[in-house]
Structures are given as C-alpha cells and as structure tokens.
C-alpha cells in the first residue's frame, strides 16, 4: 500500500514531503516558547566579559529560529510552531587554540555558566579589553509580521490557499497538499568591541497536486519563496491553476527515444539543480566562474545574512552553528540574460521542466526531469514525456549556454540544511536526453 511520501516520490515531487507531519489529523500548536531578547542579549554581553578575562577574540553568538509550518492535505490539517536555539561562546587562548562551548537553550544563567566553564582550564596569558558600544540592529520588518499572528491566523492563511487551489479542479486529482512555512530568525553576535543583531523573515508558499495516469502518478507543483511574511496571495490563482493543469496533462504514448546533443531550454528549477548542492556549488563553482553569462553573487533575498558568525559584515554570509564561517553566499545568483522567451529561438529541441532527482559522478550530472516537451520552430508540438533524464558534463551544460533567460526566480534549497536559495533564470544549451534509468 502506498503512503503519502511514496506517492510524492513516485510522482517526482518527493521534496514536498519535507513539510508533512505525522498524519495526526487536525492539530494546532502548541505555540513555541517565548525568549526575552533583552535578557538574552544581556547574558551574551556578560558571557563576553567573562571570556575576555582568559581569552583573546571573545565572541558570543546566538541564533533563535522560530518556524511556523502550516500544512493541509488529505490526512492532516496541521499548524506546528517550534523554536530552535543555537548559542556558542568562543575565543582564542594563550596557546592560540580556538575554544568554544555550545548551549541549546536561551536561558541567561546557562549562557553565563557556559562562559565560566569555557575559561575554567584555559591557560593564563590571554585576555581582551572589552569596550562595547551601543547595540547595532538590522531588523526585518515585513508587511505581514509573523510575530504578530496567532496560530489560528496561520490556519486561515493555509486554508485560503486550499480553497483557491481547489477551484477548477476535477475528480481526477487524487491528492493535494498546500503549505505555508515561515522562519522568523534572530541572530546576535557580541564581541569585545561590538554588539550586533539582525532579524530575517523568510517564507515558502507551495501547492502540489497529483493525478493518476495509467500505471503511475503525475504531479504538478509550484512554490514561491522570498524574504517576506506569510502572504498566501503571492502564490497566484494562475500559478495554482497551472499546478492542476500540469497534474492532469496527458503525455505522449510510448517511451522517450534517446537524443544526443539536443537543444534544450532548461527551466529555472533545473538550472538551480545544476549550480546548487550536488552541482557546481559542490565543485567550487568552477563551471560558473568560467561561464561569461553566469556569476556567483550574494544578494538580498530569501536568506540574506549580513553578519558572519564573528560579527563581521563582509557581505551576506551564513553564520555557522559553532561560530565557524561559511564563506558561501546565502543566496546564489545566476545572472539573468536579455532573452525573454528562450523557446522562441529553438528550431528543433525540447523544453524541460521539473526536477525529480539529481545525481552526479565526477564532473558529469544526471537529472531526472519531470516533463519534457517537444519544440519545433519555437512552438510546442503537443508531444510531452515524463521521466526523461538529462545527462552531460557540468562545464559543457553551463559554459555552452547559447542564451540566458531574462526572468529569474528564487528556488529554496534548505530542505536538508541551513537556509539558502538559488536565484536562476532559464537557460538555452545542449544536452543528451534519454529515458530515466530505473523508471517503470
């Protein structure tokens, strides 16, 4: 018997399962515990003062992330509210060794105790002069502030998405899920000379629909992400209608015949898969830095950290849980081009959309595509296939691009890790296509 996650994986949208709960039906809360930000900040300042008596470069880093996850599907109507806390007190001792101690609760007494334990066995001979100025804050103020909403308001928002997603649907839709997920994140970094904080708010709004075709499920999915609050109207009626249409769309009978060196238009989600984890980002972005129309950049958006874990402001960087720097931008941007309709330039090729699976060996990638559509003289022929696999060398796919689209979109990539996003346009390039291996 299939469960929900099996169904989503088989339809090529397994990532949507990340927001599902345990199927406990109608559930609201409980609300996450509150933390007094002023008391927390005072404790961090005290911790730096304690650490400075035996350590150089003392730093106290705290990150509180409140995540509200509102999900509705066939078996659950769930609003969850949780708080994740990461606090690190650190510094360098007289021998030059970096010392740190972590705390997972925001209680001031625990923070001060951690600082005391940190220096308990530190060798003498190191210290720092503490001269803190006034606090410096960079706080997001979204139009819809998640901190001002009761949990019932989150349910109202996700159910408004359900009602709009159901409009115009047919009985052929066997499964639907919608989600509103918002992170309200506050970070403090206190050093011997500065006391800084920032607040980031990021939201993912999404919908998935699945219909049964012959021997297997077919999905349509859409997601909007960005540095805004829980505003379901950002996922438009047109986008929700397209989700239904994609799930219901018929495919060309028979298997897909392999094509070598096909001209292909890659949708932004596929470009994001190429440059994100598992693709160019994992390989040091070699392919991107050698492509004239593509660039790596950190810009404001979904995960725009302006402070690093040591309180510096060297551009958007992600603070590490244990006060170690991660030099990658929080948002990876593929610079847009000037071509609004890439498919118009394709005389004989394919329009590829949807990512079901990404695999890589060395510099070669294989991406299982949710749907491939035939293009002839810049128009769709009506032929479409599921479970097509794109294969090629990463460098060739990116540096061989003939044109870059003009309208990038943001794709969140933090399902299994820290918040990050890839902002990518569509891309016109060449690739080998064939039936996905292991498909039924």
SS3 track for 284-340: CCHHHHCCCCCCCCCCCCCCCCCCCCCCCCCCCCEECCCCCEECCCCEEECCCCCEC
Res. 79: pLDDT tops 70: yes
Q: How confident is the model at residue 297 (pLDDT cuts 50, 70, 90)?
A: low
CA distance 203 to 224: 8
Res. 298: pLDDT tops 70: no
Rank 115-129, 295-309, 326-340 by mean pLDDT and report only the highest. 115-129
Collapse the DSSP code of 391 into the 3-class scheme (helix H, G, I; strand E, B; otherwise coil) and give the result.
strand
What is the mean pLDDT of the segment spanning 272-279?
73
Q: How confident is the model at residue 283 (pLDDT cuts 50, 70, 90)?
A: very low
Residue 210 is encoded by which pair of tokens? 């699945």
CA distance 76 to 288: 42
Q: pLDDT at position 386, please? A: 86
Q: What is the pTM of this model?
A: 0.86
Q: pLDDT at position 333, please? A: 76
Residue 361, H or E segment:
strand 348-361
The percent of residues in the chain predicted with pLDDT above 90, rounded, is 57
Q: pLDDT at position 48, please? A: 98
Note whether 351 and 433 are within 8 A (CB).
Answer: no
Task: Find where tokens 């128009």 sit.
Answer: 379
Q: pLDDT at position 295, please? A: 52
Collapse the DSSP code of 79 into the 3-class scheme (helix H, G, I; strand E, B; otherwise coil) and give the result.
strand
Rounded to the nearest 10 degrees, what angle do helices 151-166 and 237-248 cross at? 50
What is the mean pLDDT of the segment spanning 76-88?
93
Q: Which residues contact 400 (CB under 8 A, 6 or more apart)?
A: 429, 430
Q: pLDDT at position 326, please? A: 43
Q: pLDDT at position 317, please? A: 43
Q: Which residues contact 256 (CB under 8 A, 6 or more apart)?
A: 372, 385, 387, 388, 433, 434, 435
Question: Tens of pLDDT along 202-252?
Answer: 999 999 999 988 778 889 999 999 999 999 999 999 999 999 999 999 889
Determine the straight-line distance between the first and last CA of the chain, rounded to whole angstroms: 17
* Surface-to-core class of residue 178, CB atoms within 10 Å of its CB (0-12 exposed, 13-18 middle, 19+ buried): buried
Look at strands 403-404 and 427-435 and give their pairing: antiparallel
Q: pLDDT at position 387, please? A: 84
Q: pLDDT at position 230, please? A: 97
DSSP 267-298: PHHHHHHHHSTTTTTTTTTHHHHT-TT-----
Length of the chain: 440
Q: pLDDT at position 267, please? A: 94
Q: Return mean pLDDT, the chain.
A: 85
What is the mean pLDDT of the segment spanning 43-49?
98
Note whether 398 and 283 are within 8 A (CB).
Answer: no
- Of the listed ranges 21-35, 69-83, 148-162, 353-367, the least confidently predicted one is 21-35
Res. 290: pLDDT tops 60: no
Note whether 103 and 321 are within 8 A (CB).
Answer: no
Residue that wins the pLDDT comparison between 323 and 138: 138
């Amino acid at each position: 018997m299939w469960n929900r996650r099996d169904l989503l994986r088989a339809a090529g949208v397994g990532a949507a399962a990340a927001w599902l709960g345990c199927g406990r039906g109608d559930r609201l809360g409980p609300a996450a515990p509150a933390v007094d930000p002023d008391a927390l900040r005072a404790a961090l300042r005290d911790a730096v003062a304690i650490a400075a008596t035996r350590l150089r470069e003392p730093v106290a880093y705290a990150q509180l992330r409140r995540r509200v996850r509102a999900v509705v599907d066939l078996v659950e109507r769930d609003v969850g509210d949780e708080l994740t806390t990461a606090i690190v007190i650190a510094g360098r001792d007289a021998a030059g060794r970096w010392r740190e101690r972590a705390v997972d609760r925001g209680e001031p007494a625990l923070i001060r105790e951690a600082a005391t334990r940190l220096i308990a066995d530190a060798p003498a001979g190191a210290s720092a002069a503490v001269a803190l100025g006034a606090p410096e804050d960079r706080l997001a103020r979204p139009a819809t502030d998640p901190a001002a909403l009761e949990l019932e308001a989150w349910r109202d928002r996700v159910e408004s998405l359900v009602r709009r997603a159901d409009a115009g649907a047919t009985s052929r839709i066997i499964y639907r899920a919608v989600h509103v997920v918002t992170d309200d994140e506050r970070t403090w970094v206190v050093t011997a000379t500065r006391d800084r904080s920032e607040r980031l708010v990021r939201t993912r709004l999404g919908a998935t629909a699945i219909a049964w075709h012959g021997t297997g499920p077919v999905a349509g999915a859409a997601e909007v992400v960005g540095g805004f609050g829980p505003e379901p109207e950002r996922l438009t009626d047109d986008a929700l209608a397209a989700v239904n249409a994609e799930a219901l769309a018929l495919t060309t009978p028979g298997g897909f015949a392999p094509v070598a060196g096909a001209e292909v238009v890659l949708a932004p989600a596929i470009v994001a898969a190429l440059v994100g984890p598992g693709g160019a980002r994992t390989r040091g972005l070699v392919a991107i830095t050698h492509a004239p129309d593509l660039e790596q950049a950190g810009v404001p958006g979904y995960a725009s950290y302006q402070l690093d874990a040591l309180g510096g402001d060297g551009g958007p960087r992600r603070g590490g849980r244990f006060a170690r720097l991660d030099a990658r931008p929080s948002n990876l941007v593929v610079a847009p081009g000037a071509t609004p309709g890439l498919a118009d330039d394709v005389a004989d090729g394919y329009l590829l959309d949807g990512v079901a699976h990404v695999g890589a060996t060395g510099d070669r990638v294989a991406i299982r595509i949710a749907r491939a559509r035939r293009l002839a003289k810049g128009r769709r022929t009506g032929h479409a296939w599921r479970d097509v696999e794109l294969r090629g060398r990463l460098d060739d796919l990116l540096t061989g691009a003939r044109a870059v689209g003009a309208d990038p979109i943001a794709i969140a990539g933090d399902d299994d890790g820290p918040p990050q996003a890839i902002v990518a346009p569509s891309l016109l390039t060449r690739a080998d296509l064939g039936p996905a291996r292991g498909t039924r």
